[in-house]
């Protein structure tokens, strides 16, 4: 509750007072200050014009007064001259009236005043009209004066000419006086006007200065507030960045730890994979050696025993009499049986150890394997096997032979194929082997993912053998569309046999 009140107070303090807000927000906008400036410039020009007019009116008054003085002097001196005053210089009399006429001319059309002031041609039409009425009166006064001087006997004081002279002079005085009064009045009006204008201009300038100051002040205050807010946000940001950097540092350390652990595990995995590979390689080598040993045993022991047995039975048969037909028949059947067993033993030993490989080389051994397979299972076999001298090491050749042997065994066991083809393609640095059949096919994924207890090891042993030799292995098959095994091996190197 307390905190709430304090917050309100703070808010109130920060709010500018109502009037001030109105002045700074509504009145002293840049637009109003600009308009005010324009207005004050206009008023200044107006002020100047009024002053100019005042000055002109002043000059006009001055000139009018001079004209009146000159005309009055002329009148006085002329009367004195006519009454016979010899002290009067008659030329001065004419100079006075001429000066008055030329002054009135200067007032109308511009020229110099009595005191050397330059007079502008009179522009105000009503004043001009009055002045134009005044000027002929002066000429008339001069003309009557001339007449009076020329004919003093008829133009004396109280004569008809004198009366006319006085009448014209009076008219001149009245009109000049009226003109002077009008001019003076206008001057007075202008004076008070210019005074008012001066104050208005002063006021508007004060407003402009106040407005501009208020604008600048307001801007400054806003800028300061924005700066403060920015500094605050910056501080907060810095704190956040610091926190985040700390967190990131921790995460980074954790990541480093995990990475090291991961690397260690990877290293261990690689080592155990290496061991596994070497183990399986050793296993396959041992298996191969064992097969050879059994094959040799079969060939040497069982083969020779069977050969001995065959000789024994042949001798026995010869020794039997012609009438011992039943025994002879038995001997013959046993001989046939021994022959069959010997055949089987020799095939078994051939399968166990591909001695043809050692004798004739890989291409011939493969061709023989394929033709035996075809004959045995009554399947059409086609092949394209190029010569491959010295492309692979001896152990690699045995592995290749075993892989193809297993793929043919699979075809014989599972495919029910009618046609089998084998193609070997030699590239620049590797050789590609492909065995294809047109049998019933199978689901590769399923065959590979079968439970290890259920499935045979043929496919995985094949791929393992290829992997040991550093090659790539590929299986393709679809149900009802046959199957294809292809593998690519690097020439003479790669793998553990090389
Ligand atoms: N050429 C083939 N045609 C049809 N099925 C095959 C062929 N080769 C392999 N298979 C299938 O793949 C399975 C796995 O083969 P393999 O690993 O050699 O084990 P095994 O031959 O001992 O069953 C076989 O059981 C068979 O279902
Ligand atoms: Mg198999």
What is the band of 277 on the pLDDT scale with cuts at 50, 70, 90? confident
- C-alpha separations of 469 from 285, 349, 459 in Å: 13, 26, 16
Q: Is the pLDDT of residue 183 over 80?
A: yes
Distance 414 CA to ligand 1 centre (A): 6
Nearest CA to ligand 1 atom 26: 414
> 380 in the Ramachandran plot: left (φ > 0), alpha (ψ -120 to 50) or beta?
beta
pLDDT for residue 22: 61
Residues in the chain: 498
pLDDT at 123: 86
pLDDT category of residue 325 using cuts at 50, 70 and 90: confident
Q: Which atom of ligand 1 is nearest to the CA of 413?
A: 21
| Tokens read off for 2 | 């307390």
Give the torsion sign (CA, 234, 240, 246, 252).
negative
- 413 CA to middle of ligand 1, Å? 8
* Helix-then-strand count for the chain, H and E: 13, 7
pLDDT greater at residue 422 or residue 9: 422
The minimum-distance atom of ligand 1 relative to the CA of 409 is 21
Quote the ligand 2 centre to 454 CA distance (angstroms). Answer: 12
Q: Which two tokens stand for residue 428?
A: 């620049």
Q: Is the sign of the CA dihedral 309, 312, 317, 320 positive or negative?
A: negative
Task: Outline where DSSP puts E strands in 156-197.
Answer: none
CA dist 196 → 1, 203, 205, 206 (Å): 58, 11, 14, 15
Mutate to test the pocket of ligand 1, among 447, 461, 464, 485 (most ligand atoms within 8 A of CB): 447
Task: Please give the distance, rounded to the nearest whole angstrom, from the Cα atom of residue 87 to the centre of ligand 2.
Answer: 169
Domains of the chain: 23-222 (1.20.120), 359-498 (3.30.565.10)
* Tally of CB atoms within 10 A around 79: 19
Higher pLDDT, 370 or 352: 370
Adjacency order of strands within the sheet including 483-490:
380-384, 419-426, 430-437, 483-490, 472-477
Residue of minimum CA distance from atom 12 in ligand 1: 447
- For residue 468, what pLDDT is reported? 86
Pocket probe mutation, ligand 1, options 377, 402, 413, 414, max atoms within 8 Å of Cβ: 414
Ligand nearest to C-alpha 408: 1
With a cut of 60, say whether residue 10 has pLDDT above it: no
Q: Which ligand is nearest to the CA of 450?
A: 1
Range of weakest confidence among 19-33, 257-271, 426-440, 461-475: 19-33
Confidence of residue 7 (pLDDT cuts 50, 70, 90): very low
Tell me what pLDDT residue 9 has.
47
Question: Can you tell me the distance from the alpha carbon of 48 to that of 219, in angstroms, rounded to the nearest whole number?
Answer: 35
Q: Which ligand is nearest to the CA of 415?
A: 1
Q: What's the distance, Cα to Cα, between the start and end of the chain in Å? A: 89
Q: How far apart are CA 497 and CA 236, in angstroms?
A: 67
pLDDT > 90? residue 487: yes
What integer pLDDT is reported at residue 495 of this predicted model? 37
Ligand nearest to the CA of 436: 1
Ligand nearest to the CA of 482: 1
What per-residue confidence (pLDDT) applies to 497?
A: 43
Distance between Cα 294 and ligand 2 center (Å): 21
Asked whether residue 280 carries a pLDDT value surpassing 90, the answer given is: no
Number of neighbouring beta carbons within 10 Å of residue 49: 12
In terms of pLDDT, which residue wins out, 20 or 304?
304
Question: How many angstroms does the Cα of residue 409 sit away from the middle of ligand 2?
Answer: 6
**What's the CA-to-centroid distance between 443 and ligand 2, angstroms?**
14
Distance 440 CA to ligand 1 centre (A): 11
CB 445 within 8 A of CB 464: no
Confidence of residue 251 (pLDDT cuts 50, 70, 90): very high
Rounded to the nearest integer, the mean pLDDT of the chain is 86
CA atoms within 13 A on the CB side of 402: 23
Residue of the CA atom closest to atom 8 of ligand 1:
410
pLDDT tens-place string over residues 104-139: 999 999 888 878 888 889 888 988 999 999 999 999
Nearest-atom index, ligand 1, CA of 437? 1
- Closest atom of ligand 1 to CA, residue 461: 17
Angle (nearest 5°) at CA 324 between 321 and 327: 115
> What percentage of the chain exceeds 90 in pLDDT?
37
Please list every protein residue whose CB sits less than 6 Å from any atom of ligand 1: 410-411, 413-415, 437, 439-442, 447, 455-456, 458-459, 483
Question: Residue with the nearest Cα to atom 23 of ligand 1?
Answer: 456
Instruction: Report pLDDT digits (tens) over 385-423.
Output: 999 888 898 888 888 998 999 999 999 999 999 999 999
β-strand pairing of 472-477 with 483-490 = antiparallel
Q: Where are the alpha helices (DSSP H) in 298-324?
A: 303-319
pLDDT-derived band at 471 (thresholds 50, 70, 90) equals very high
Query: Of the residues 436, 438, 442, 477, which should be mutated to test ligand 1's pocket, given the most ligand atoms within 8 Å of the CB?
Result: 442
pLDDT tens digits for range 438-454 = 999 999 888 888 776 77
Between CA 10 and CA 59 the distance in angstroms is: 67
SS3 assignment, position 425: strand
């Amino acid at each position: 509750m307390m905190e709430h009140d304090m917050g309100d107070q703070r808010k109130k303090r920060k709010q500018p007072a109502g009037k001030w807000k109105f002045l700074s927000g509504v009145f002293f906008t840049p637009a109003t200050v600009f308009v005010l400036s324009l207005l004050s410039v206009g008023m200044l020009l107006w002020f100047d014009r009024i002053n100019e007019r005042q000055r002109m009116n002043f000059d006009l008054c001055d000139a009018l007064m001079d004209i009146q003085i000159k005309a009055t002097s002329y009148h006085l001196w002329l009367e004195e001259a006519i009454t016979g005053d010899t002290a009067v210089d008659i030329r001065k009399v004419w100079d006075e009236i001429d000066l008055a006429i030329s002054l009135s001319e200067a007032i109308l059309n511009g020229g110099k005043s009595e005191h050397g002031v330059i007079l502008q041609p009179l522009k105000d039409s009503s004043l001009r009209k009055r002045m134009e009425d005044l000027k002929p009166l002066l000429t008339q006064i001069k003309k009557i004066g001339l007449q009076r001087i020329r004919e003093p006997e008829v133009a004396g004081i109280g004569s008809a000419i004198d009366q006319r002279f006085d009448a014209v002079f009076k008219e001149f005085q009245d009109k000049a006086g009226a003109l002077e009064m009008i001019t003076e009045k206008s001057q007075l009006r202008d004076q008070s006007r210019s005074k008012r204008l001066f104050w208005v201009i002063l006021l508007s300038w004060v407003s402009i200065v106040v407005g501009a100051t208020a604008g600048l002040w307001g801007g400054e205050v806003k800028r300061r507030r924005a700066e403060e807010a920015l500094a605050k946000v910056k501080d907060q940001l810095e704190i956040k960045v610091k926190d985040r950097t700390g967190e990131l540092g921790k995460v980074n350390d954790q990541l480093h730890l995990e990475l090291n652990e991961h690397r260690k595990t990877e290293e261990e995995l690689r080592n155990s994979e290496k061991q596994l590979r070497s183990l399986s390689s050793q296993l396959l080598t041992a298996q191969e050696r064992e097969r050879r040993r059994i094959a040799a045993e079969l060939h040497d022991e069982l083969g020779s025993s069977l050969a001995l047995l065959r000789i024994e039975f042949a001798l026995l048969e010869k020794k039997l009499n012609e009438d011992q037909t039943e025994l002879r028949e038995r001997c013959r059947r046993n001989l046939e049986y021994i022959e069959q067993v010997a055949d089987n033993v020799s095939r078994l030993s051939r399968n166990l150890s591909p001695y043809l490989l050692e004798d004739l080389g890989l291409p011939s051994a493969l061709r023989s394997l394929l033709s035996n397979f075809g004959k045995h299972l009554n399947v059409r076999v086609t092949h394209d096997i190029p010569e491959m001298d010295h492309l692979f090491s001896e152990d690699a050749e045995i592995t290749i032979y075993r892989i193809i042997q297993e793929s043919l065994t699979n075809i014989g066991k599972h495919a029910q194929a009618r046609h089998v083809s084998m193609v070997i393609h030699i590239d620049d640095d590797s050789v590609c082997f492909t065995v294809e059949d047109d049998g019933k096919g199978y689901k590769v994924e399923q065959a590979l993912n079968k439970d290890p207890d259920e499935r045979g090891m043929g496919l995985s042993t094949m791929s393992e053998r290829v992997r040991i030799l550093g090659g790539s292995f590929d299986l393709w098959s679809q149900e009802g569309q046959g199957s294809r095994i292809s593998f690519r091996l690097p020439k003479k190197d790669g793998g553990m046999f090389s």
